Amino acid sequence: MELQHVTAKIFVDGAPSVDAETVVKVFQTWISEQSMNELLIDVADYEHVPKGPGIVLVGHQADYSLDNMGGRLGLRYNCKVAREGSNEEKCLHAFRSAAKACLRFEAELPGIRFSRNEFELAINDRAIAPNTDDTRENCESIFNRFVREQLGQSDFQLAYESDARRLVGAVVSVSVAIDFDGVASA
């Protein structure tokens, strides 16, 4: 199975109060500076949708969002284009992009902190990766290799959502905190 459209969501630690207007301004600054690795285009506010996509920074190759999907606030990176490389490298690209964005958010919005011990990986392509037992089994080996080989973690757990209406993916919990600076600069 060759995965495409990998998403990584890094959860917010605690329950900080995040002002939507401030998040929009941060994302608009990223657009004006074109400071991420993707062409950034626009910002959309979906805060009115319960447990929804939140504030979305729309890009050509990828979207970033501060979302509350699944009832957990976090920063999501959603790759929208086909990428070269192994499945594990595609997972690393998504995670690295999310970690870089989290570091920027933490620098620009004092009071917000992202978890170094828990994140979500998902595949935003139901044609290639429907949320079925077979797909979850295939993804489990890919996600295991990614966490072990790319993140250097040996003590971790994967928790899968089996609801066929949701994207196939897993919440990854690691016992040793991930060094975002190291991941982002590699």
pLDDT of residue 35: 87
- Closest by alpha carbon to 54, among 94, 92, 12, 88? 12
Question: Torsion over CA of 170, 93, 54 and 175, rounded to 10 degrees?
Answer: 50
The β-bridge partners of 45 are 55
Q: How far is CA 174 from the centre of its chain?
A: 16
Quote the tokens at residue 85. 């490389």
How confident is the model over 7-39, as pLDDT tens digits? 999 999 987 778 889 999 999 999 999 989 899
How confident is the model over 152-184, as pLDDT tens digits? 999 999 999 889 999 999 999 999 999 999 998
pLDDT at 6 over 90: yes
pLDDT of residue 74: 96
pTM confidence score: 0.95
Quote the tokens at residue 168. 């196939």
| Residue boundaries of the structural domains of the chain | 6-185
How confident is the model over 73-119, as pLDDT tens digits? 999 999 999 999 999 999 999 999 999 999 999 999 888 999 999 99
pLDDT of residue 92: 96
Q: How far is CA 78 from the centre of its chain?
A: 6
